[in-house]
Amino acid sequence: MKTVNIKALLWIAPVAGIISAFINASLFGLYNTMGLKLNALLGPGGEAIGYPAVMISSFLPSLIGAAFLALLGNLVRNPWRLFTIIATGVLLLSFGNPLMINGIRFSQIVALNSLHCVVGIVLLLMAHRFAKH
């Protein structure tokens, strides 16, 4: 049985958040140069998002995910398996969010969902590499 190194999570969470934020900011810039106007679900037709929104919404889920992993590490016998299953489920559910924006194109859906994937993948990889003992 693998346990969670909570002390390691204290530095993994912000580092994963920063890495995710910069990768997503880079992807966001790439998508902008490709002519994709990315919207977030802030109103009926969505609202254009910018770099601060992309970076904050990349950083915060890493902190929340790491806190959830720490909680699972204290409550359940096999936290890694359960965390991976729940994180994958949350990621899959987040794929539906762009579908609620009126008039969104398929390319925009793919672009927004790629930003969601970055956060989950970076946190899972870093946590599995550095916080598992």
pLDDT tens for residues 3-44?
899 999 999 999 999 999 999 999 999 998 998 887 665 555
Query: What single letter denotes the amino acid at residue 125?
Result: L
Tokens 């598992």 belong to which residue? 132
As for how many domains the chain has, the answer is 1
Domain span holding position 11: 6-130
Rg (CA), the chain: 16
DSSP code for 12:
H
47-63 burial, b at 16+ Cβ within 10 Å, e below that, comes to eebeeeebbebbbebbe
Q: Is residue 43 part of a domain?
A: yes
Query: pLDDT tens across 53-92, in order?
Result: 899 999 999 999 999 999 999 999 999 999 999 999 999 9
Give dist(CA 120, CA 92) in Å, integer.
10
Please state the pTM of the whole predicted model.
Answer: 0.89
Q: Is residue 1 part of a domain?
A: no
